[in-house]
Amino acid sequence: MSTASLSASVRTETGKGAARKIRQAGNIPAVIYGHGREPQSLMLNARETDKLLKSIAISSTVIELGIDGKVCRSLIREVQRHPFKRTITHIDFQELVVGETVSVHCPIVYVGVPEGVRLEGGLLDQIMHQLHIQVDPSAIPNHIDVDVSALKVGKSLHVSDLTLPAGIKVLDEPGTTVCIVQVPKVAVETAAAAAEPEVIRAKPKADEK
Protein backbone atom coordinates (compact mmCIF):
# COMPACT_ATOMS: atom_id res chain seq x y z
CA MET A 1 0.00 0.00 0.00
CA SER A 2 1.33 3.44 -0.96
CA THR A 3 0.88 6.32 1.45
CA ALA A 4 1.68 10.03 1.31
CA SER A 5 1.29 12.98 3.65
CA LEU A 6 -0.36 16.32 2.99
CA SER A 7 -1.20 19.26 5.24
CA ALA A 8 -4.59 20.96 5.24
CA SER A 9 -6.43 23.57 7.29
CA VAL A 10 -10.12 24.01 7.99
CA ARG A 11 -11.87 26.85 6.14
CA THR A 12 -15.11 28.43 7.28
CA GLU A 13 -15.97 30.51 4.22
CA THR A 14 -17.59 28.70 1.30
CA GLY A 15 -18.99 29.64 -2.08
CA LYS A 16 -17.49 30.74 -5.40
CA GLY A 17 -16.26 34.08 -4.10
CA ALA A 18 -14.43 32.52 -1.17
CA ALA A 19 -12.94 29.81 -3.39
CA ARG A 20 -11.67 32.45 -5.81
CA LYS A 21 -9.88 34.30 -2.98
CA ILE A 22 -8.33 31.04 -1.77
CA ARG A 23 -6.90 30.30 -5.21
CA GLN A 24 -5.60 33.86 -5.63
CA ALA A 25 -3.71 33.42 -2.36
CA GLY A 26 -1.92 30.32 -3.72
CA ASN A 27 -4.14 27.71 -2.09
CA ILE A 28 -6.67 25.10 -3.22
CA PRO A 29 -10.19 24.65 -1.79
CA ALA A 30 -11.01 21.08 -0.85
CA VAL A 31 -13.55 18.99 1.03
CA ILE A 32 -13.39 15.74 3.01
CA TYR A 33 -16.37 13.48 3.54
CA GLY A 34 -16.99 9.93 4.65
CA HIS A 35 -19.10 7.50 6.59
CA GLY A 36 -20.49 9.03 9.78
CA ARG A 37 -19.08 12.53 9.32
CA GLU A 38 -20.36 15.77 7.87
CA PRO A 39 -18.46 17.11 4.83
CA GLN A 40 -15.72 19.46 6.02
CA SER A 41 -14.32 22.31 3.93
CA LEU A 42 -10.51 22.45 3.75
CA MET A 43 -7.71 24.48 2.23
CA LEU A 44 -4.44 23.12 0.78
CA ASN A 45 -1.20 24.75 -0.31
CA ALA A 46 -1.29 24.72 -4.12
CA ARG A 47 2.44 24.24 -4.73
CA GLU A 48 2.79 21.46 -2.15
CA THR A 49 -0.30 19.67 -3.44
CA ASP A 50 0.64 19.89 -7.12
CA LYS A 51 4.12 18.51 -6.37
CA LEU A 52 2.65 15.58 -4.45
CA LEU A 53 0.07 14.65 -7.10
CA LYS A 54 2.76 14.48 -9.77
CA SER A 55 4.63 11.82 -7.79
CA ILE A 56 1.85 9.38 -6.79
CA ALA A 57 -0.83 7.13 -8.24
CA ILE A 58 -3.69 9.43 -7.29
CA SER A 59 -6.52 6.90 -7.31
CA SER A 60 -4.84 4.25 -5.12
CA THR A 61 -2.55 6.16 -2.73
CA VAL A 62 -3.71 6.62 0.85
CA ILE A 63 -3.29 10.27 1.85
CA GLU A 64 -2.51 10.92 5.51
CA LEU A 65 -4.17 14.30 5.69
CA GLY A 66 -2.97 16.50 8.52
CA ILE A 67 -5.91 18.73 9.48
CA ASP A 68 -5.00 21.30 12.13
CA GLY A 69 -2.80 18.86 14.03
CA LYS A 70 -4.92 15.73 13.56
CA VAL A 71 -4.13 13.03 10.98
CA CYS A 72 -6.94 11.59 8.88
CA ARG A 73 -6.39 8.69 6.45
CA SER A 74 -8.15 9.35 3.15
CA LEU A 75 -8.35 8.72 -0.58
CA ILE A 76 -8.52 11.37 -3.28
CA ARG A 77 -11.85 10.90 -5.05
CA GLU A 78 -11.85 13.81 -7.49
CA VAL A 79 -9.37 16.40 -8.73
CA GLN A 80 -10.93 19.31 -10.61
CA ARG A 81 -8.73 21.34 -12.94
CA HIS A 82 -9.06 24.57 -14.89
CA PRO A 83 -10.09 23.67 -18.48
CA PHE A 84 -7.26 25.64 -20.10
CA LYS A 85 -4.58 26.34 -17.50
CA ARG A 86 -4.89 22.78 -16.06
CA THR A 87 -4.24 24.14 -12.57
CA ILE A 88 -6.01 22.35 -9.71
CA THR A 89 -9.20 24.14 -8.68
CA HIS A 90 -10.70 21.71 -6.13
CA ILE A 91 -10.06 18.31 -4.53
CA ASP A 92 -12.48 15.84 -2.90
CA PHE A 93 -11.18 13.46 -0.19
CA GLN A 94 -12.93 10.42 1.26
CA GLU A 95 -12.07 9.51 4.85
CA LEU A 96 -11.18 5.85 5.32
CA VAL A 97 -13.01 3.91 8.01
CA VAL A 98 -11.59 0.76 9.64
CA GLY A 99 -13.40 -2.37 8.43
CA GLU A 100 -15.11 -0.59 5.54
CA THR A 101 -13.92 -1.58 2.05
CA VAL A 102 -13.37 0.99 -0.67
CA SER A 103 -13.25 0.90 -4.47
CA VAL A 104 -10.07 2.14 -6.16
CA HIS A 105 -8.48 2.05 -9.60
CA CYS A 106 -5.18 0.20 -9.29
CA PRO A 107 -2.41 0.39 -11.94
CA ILE A 108 -1.57 -2.74 -13.95
CA VAL A 109 2.08 -3.76 -14.37
CA TYR A 110 2.71 -6.22 -17.21
CA VAL A 111 5.35 -8.79 -16.30
CA GLY A 112 7.47 -10.76 -18.77
CA VAL A 113 7.79 -10.82 -22.56
CA PRO A 114 5.03 -12.77 -24.36
CA GLU A 115 6.07 -15.89 -26.25
CA GLY A 116 4.30 -14.49 -29.31
CA VAL A 117 6.53 -11.41 -29.18
CA ARG A 118 9.81 -13.27 -28.56
CA LEU A 119 9.33 -16.08 -31.07
CA GLU A 120 6.70 -14.93 -33.56
CA GLY A 121 7.30 -11.20 -33.97
CA GLY A 122 3.95 -10.26 -32.47
CA LEU A 123 3.08 -7.07 -30.62
CA LEU A 124 1.60 -6.85 -27.12
CA ASP A 125 -1.41 -4.54 -27.08
CA GLN A 126 -1.97 -3.33 -23.50
CA ILE A 127 -5.67 -2.52 -23.60
CA MET A 128 -6.22 -1.99 -19.87
CA HIS A 129 -3.84 0.06 -17.73
CA GLN A 130 -5.71 -0.19 -14.43
CA LEU A 131 -8.21 -2.40 -12.62
CA HIS A 132 -11.25 -1.24 -10.69
CA ILE A 133 -11.11 -3.17 -7.42
CA GLN A 134 -12.83 -3.31 -4.04
CA VAL A 135 -10.52 -3.85 -1.07
CA ASP A 136 -9.87 -3.07 2.58
CA PRO A 137 -7.97 0.25 2.83
CA SER A 138 -5.12 -1.44 4.70
CA ALA A 139 -4.58 -3.88 1.81
CA ILE A 140 -4.67 -1.54 -1.20
CA PRO A 141 -1.88 -2.80 -3.50
CA ASN A 142 0.59 -0.45 -5.16
CA HIS A 143 -0.16 -2.21 -8.45
CA ILE A 144 -1.49 -5.46 -9.93
CA ASP A 145 1.05 -7.73 -11.67
CA VAL A 146 -0.18 -9.40 -14.86
CA ASP A 147 2.09 -12.17 -16.22
CA VAL A 148 1.98 -12.21 -20.01
CA SER A 149 5.01 -14.43 -20.72
CA ALA A 150 2.95 -17.42 -21.93
CA LEU A 151 0.80 -15.48 -24.42
CA LYS A 152 1.12 -16.54 -28.07
CA VAL A 153 0.15 -14.58 -31.17
CA GLY A 154 -3.60 -14.11 -31.37
CA LYS A 155 -4.13 -14.96 -27.70
CA SER A 156 -5.48 -12.60 -25.06
CA LEU A 157 -6.05 -12.27 -21.33
CA HIS A 158 -9.37 -11.26 -19.84
CA VAL A 159 -10.29 -9.98 -16.39
CA SER A 160 -11.56 -13.45 -15.48
CA ASP A 161 -8.09 -14.91 -16.21
CA LEU A 162 -6.30 -12.78 -13.62
CA THR A 163 -5.06 -14.20 -10.32
CA LEU A 164 -5.36 -11.60 -7.57
CA PRO A 165 -4.32 -11.52 -3.90
CA ALA A 166 -6.89 -12.66 -1.34
CA GLY A 167 -9.37 -10.04 -0.26
CA ILE A 168 -9.45 -8.18 -3.58
CA LYS A 169 -12.64 -8.13 -5.64
CA VAL A 170 -12.50 -6.94 -9.24
CA LEU A 171 -15.37 -4.66 -10.25
CA ASP A 172 -14.60 -4.70 -14.00
CA GLU A 173 -16.63 -7.06 -16.19
CA PRO A 174 -15.07 -10.59 -16.24
CA GLY A 175 -15.10 -10.73 -20.04
CA THR A 176 -13.22 -7.45 -20.53
CA THR A 177 -10.00 -7.91 -22.52
CA VAL A 178 -6.92 -6.90 -20.55
CA CYS A 179 -4.31 -7.42 -23.28
CA ILE A 180 -3.72 -9.30 -26.53
CA VAL A 181 -0.73 -10.31 -28.64
CA GLN A 182 -1.45 -9.03 -32.11
CA VAL A 183 -0.48 -10.76 -35.36
CA PRO A 184 2.77 -9.30 -36.78
CA LYS A 185 2.10 -6.39 -39.14
CA VAL A 186 4.25 -7.89 -41.90
CA ALA A 187 2.20 -11.10 -41.82
CA VAL A 188 -1.03 -9.13 -42.09
CA GLU A 189 0.24 -7.14 -45.09
CA THR A 190 1.49 -10.31 -46.79
CA ALA A 191 -1.84 -12.05 -46.29
CA ALA A 192 -3.70 -9.03 -47.65
CA ALA A 193 -1.49 -8.90 -50.74
CA ALA A 194 -1.97 -12.62 -51.37
CA ALA A 195 -5.73 -12.25 -51.12
CA GLU A 196 -5.88 -9.42 -53.67
CA PRO A 197 -7.20 -10.80 -57.01
CA GLU A 198 -4.98 -10.51 -60.09
CA VAL A 199 -6.37 -8.21 -62.78
CA ILE A 200 -6.06 -9.77 -66.25
CA ARG A 201 -6.22 -7.24 -69.03
CA ALA A 202 -7.08 -8.15 -72.63
CA LYS A 203 -4.31 -7.66 -75.19
CA PRO A 204 -4.97 -4.77 -77.59
CA LYS A 205 -5.98 -5.67 -81.15
CA ALA A 206 -3.67 -4.84 -84.03
CA ASP A 207 -5.81 -1.88 -85.22
CA GLU A 208 -5.85 -0.44 -81.63
CA LYS A 209 -2.02 -0.13 -81.46
| Residue 133: other Cβ atoms inside 10 A | 23
pTM of the complete model = 0.75
Q: Using an 8 Å Cβ cutoff, are 46 and 29 in contact?
A: no
> Of 90, 82, 112, which is closest to residue 8 (Cα–Cα)?
90
Q: Report how far Cα 127 is from the mean position of its chain's Cα atoms.
A: 12
Domains and CATH numbers, the chain: 3-95 (2.40.240.10), 102-194 (2.170.120.20)
- Taking only the tens place, the pLDDT of each residue in 33-52 is 987 778 999 999 999 999 99
- Taking only the tens place, the pLDDT of each residue in 116-173 is 999 989 999 999 999 999 999 888 998 999 999 999 999 999 999 999 988 999 999 9
- Residue-by-residue DSSP string for 149-165: TTPPTT-EEEGGG----
3-state SS, residue 136: coil
